[in-house]
């Protein structure tokens, strides 16, 4: 069993998660069984209670863990399925240490960061890697952060326990370009490496995030000061076109070869070469697509880069499936009104993603209405599905005050309502309907056509549900039920009749989409957008 630890220095947002994920992809290409794991030094037990402003998207795994968005990158770049064991925060570590202390597991001793907290961390590493050849663990935050110290200490001990040949440290650091000096500076990378060495960790590989190419001289300098071989100084430039170029770029810098060397793993150059073509093909499809569509995403966190990460990625994958480039137009739902709704007319499709709270709801309802009335493909996800139900109830059934009890607990027409079991909940953390649930698809529906299957399972993260009391009326009015949960009889998918593609899903399909395996609903949505474009240009 081999372990790789990825740390970051100088600043955050270095793309450490993507680097780790791309490394995972490269090792998989050599036929190794890889799993990825994230350590987050914050004290929240999980990111489920943090706002997208704090944290970006909350990614949900099959087993219902609310995790860091880096796990989304891991699942998109590698084939390994992740679970709650692969997302560990300080909060989770301390929660477990304190529970053991109360239970009396440590009876008689003083409970301390070393060894009790560090042992707990080391146990999580071992557990996270069960059943694979290589575990890649990314440590969140930046070296030098106080919160990160117990983790780094545990990683140091871990290498001592497992032996140098079994543990490889990859350090990502910024090599900034200073315009006034007209050159790249290696000092920050040197200092953050020094910080690691102070703790007793000597990185084996240095990944340098930089805007400009590293010269041989600079590589030599960093090799000398950071104590890594020149060949292990890896340049990582911004990928010009798509994040899916990253495995190719890092392969050309031989990042995986360095890891193989450091861990004494078997080299499989032929397999690697053949399998790299897979990524080349993905990138080619992204760069030179046959079609182009414009998709509007109507959300309230539109200005944030990371709030709808998996949605944006899954839309891109839907494009890959259709040989189609997708331009994503981010639309702030708070700015959208019935008056300026015509601004959607250039779009080929509109998507309303998940969300919480009543801010921006009216704009989303207006978008859903416009899409429905104008034959514009509509894809509603989680909240976006609830919006479709509210819109339909209001404007087709004529229930003017129809809404979700999330937005108005007193409404006379709660077409979306909180589930009975959710009413008892006092603690907000990890208490939603979370993780994978089964869904049976209705024959002849767009959803069934997309999946090509009758029974599917998808991941959930919500508290409110379609209210079955309105089911007969909504169905009679044309909002068909295309998917239901077979045991709970909850409505999971709705579709508007007499519309080319108007689909709302209560679950989050975006979490299961990969560039190598685009999600069927996203593929079908983009296909519908291409067809709509075709109809429109034919009409012109």
Residues lying near ligand GLN in the complex (CB under 6 A): 354-356, 382-383, 406, 461-464
Closest contact distance (angstroms) between CB of 73 and ligand GLN is 20
Give the residue carrying structure tokens 């034959």: 375
User: Torsion-angle region of residue 525: left (phi > 0), alpha (psi -120 to 50) or beta?
Assistant: alpha
Q: Residue 382 CB, nearest distance to ligand GLN (Å)? A: 3
Of 57 and 258, CB closest to ligand GLN: 57
| Nearest in space to 226 (alpha carbons), one of 238, 214, 243 | 214
Which residue, 75 or 406, has its beta carbon nearer to ligand GLN?
A: 406
Contact 169, 202 (CB under 8 A): yes
508 as an active site residue: the answer is: yes
Please state the closest distance from residue 464 (CB atom) to ligand GLN, in A.
3
Q: 382, 406, 460, 462: which is the annotated catalytic residue?
A: 382
Taking the least distance from each CB to ligand GLN, the nearer of 58 and 496 is: 58
505 neighbors 521 (Cβ within 8 angstroms): yes
Distance of CA 93 to the CA centre of its chain: 23
- What's phi and psi for 347, nearest 5 deg? -80, 155
Least Å distance between CB 422 and ligand GLN? 9
**Which SS3 state, helix, strand or coil, does residue 516 take?**
coil
Catalytic residue among 73, 317, 462, 508: 508
User: For residues 387 and 526, which CB has a smaller minimum distance to ligand GLN in the complex?
Assistant: 387
Any catalytic annotation for residue 382? Answer: yes
Q: Could you say which of 57, 245, 253, 510 is catalytic? A: 510
Q: Count Cβ neighbours within 10 Å for each residue of 426-452 and write b for 16 or more, e otherwise.
A: eeeeeebbbbbbebbbbeebbbbebbe
Map residue 209 onto helix, strand or coil.
strand
Q: Give the C-alpha distances (Å, rounded to integers) separating 292 from 183, 325, 450, 501.
A: 39, 5, 20, 18
- Tally the C-alpha atoms within 13 A of residue 273's C-alpha that lie toward its C-beta: 4
> What φ, ψ does residue 135 adopt, rounded to 5°?
-110, 130
Q: Please tell me the distance from the alpha carbon of residue 453 to that of residue 35, in angstroms, as a whole number.
A: 29
Angle at 121 between CA 118 and CA 127, to 5 degrees: 145
Please identify, using beta-carbon distances, which residue of 296 and 380 lies nearer to ligand GLN.
380
What is each CA distance from 446 to 80, 320, 453, 480, 493, in whole angstroms?
Answer: 29, 20, 11, 11, 10
d(CA 112, CA 394): 59
Q: Between 2 and 364, name the residue whose CB sits nearer to ligand GLN.
A: 364
* 92 vs 462, beta carbon nearer ligand GLN: 462
CB atoms within 10 A of CB 302: 18
- Residues belonging to the active site: 382, 508, 510
């Amino acid at each position: 069993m081999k372990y790789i630890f990825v740390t970051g220095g100088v600043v955050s947002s270095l793309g450490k998660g993507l680097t780790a994920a791309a490394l995972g992809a490269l090792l998989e290409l050599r036929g190794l069984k890889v799993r990825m794991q994230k350590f987050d030094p914050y004290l929240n037990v999980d990111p489920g209670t943090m706002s997208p402003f704090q944290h970006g998207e909350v990614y949900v795994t099959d087993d219902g863990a609310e995790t860091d968005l880096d796990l989304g990158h891991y699942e998109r770049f590698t084939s390994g399925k992740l679970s709650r064991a692969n997302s560990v925060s300080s909060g989770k570590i301390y929660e477990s240490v304190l529970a053991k202390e109360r239970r009396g597991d440590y009876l008689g001793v003083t409970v301390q960061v070393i060894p009790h907290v560090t042992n707990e961390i080391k146990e999580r590493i071992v557990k996270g890697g069960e059943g694979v050849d290589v575990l890649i663990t990314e440590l969140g935050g930046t070296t030098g952060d106080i919160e990160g110290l117990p983790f780094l200490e545990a990683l140091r001990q871990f290498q001592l326990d497992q032996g140098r040949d079994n543990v490889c440290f990859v350090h990502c650091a910024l090599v900034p370009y200073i315009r006034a000096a007209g050159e790249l500076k290696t000092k920050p990378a040197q200092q953050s490496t020094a910080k690691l060495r102070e703790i007793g960790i000597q990185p084996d590989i240095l990944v340098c995030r930089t805007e400009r190419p590293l010269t041989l001289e600079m590589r030599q300098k960093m090799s000398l000061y950071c104590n890594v071989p020149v060949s292990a100084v890896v340049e990582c430039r911004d990928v010009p076109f798509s994040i899916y170029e990253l495995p190719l770029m890092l392969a050309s810098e031989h990042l995986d070869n360095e890891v193989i060397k450091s861990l004494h793993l078997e080299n499989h150059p032929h397999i690697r070469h053949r399998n790299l073509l897979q990524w080349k093909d993905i990138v080619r499809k992204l760069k030179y697509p046959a079609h182009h569509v414009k998709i509007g995403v109507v959300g309230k966190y539109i200005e944030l880069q990371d709030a709808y990460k998996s949605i944006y990625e899954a839309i891109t994958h839907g494009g890959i499936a259709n040989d189609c480039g997708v331009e994503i137009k981010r639309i702030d739902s708070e700015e959208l009104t019935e008056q300026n709704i015509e601004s959607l007319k250039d779009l080929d499709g509109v998507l309303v993603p998940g969300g919480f709270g009543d801010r921006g709801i009216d704009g989303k309802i207006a978008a859903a209405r416009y899409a429905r009335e104008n034959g514009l493909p509509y894809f509603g996800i989680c909240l976006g599905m609830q919006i479709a139900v509210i819109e339909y109830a209001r404007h087709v059934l004529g229930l003017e005050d129809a809404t979700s009890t999330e937005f108005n607990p007193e409404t006379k027409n709660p077409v979306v309502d909180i589930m009975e079991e959710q009413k008892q909940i006092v603690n907000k953390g990890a208490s939603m309907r979370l993780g994978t649930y089964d869904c049976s698809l209705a024959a002849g529906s767009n959803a069934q056509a997309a999946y090509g299957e009758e029974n599917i399972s998808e991941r959930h993260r919500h508290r409110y549900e379609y209210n079955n009391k309105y089911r007969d009326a909504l169905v009679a009015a044309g909002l068909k039920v295309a998917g239901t949960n077979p045991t709970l009889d909850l409505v999971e998918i709705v579709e508007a009749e007499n519309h080319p593609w108007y689909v709302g899903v209560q679950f989050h399909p975006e979490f299961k989409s990969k560039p190598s395996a685009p999600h069927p609903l996203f593929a079908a949505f983009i296909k519908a957008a291409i067809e709509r474009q075709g109809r429109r240009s034919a009409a012109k």
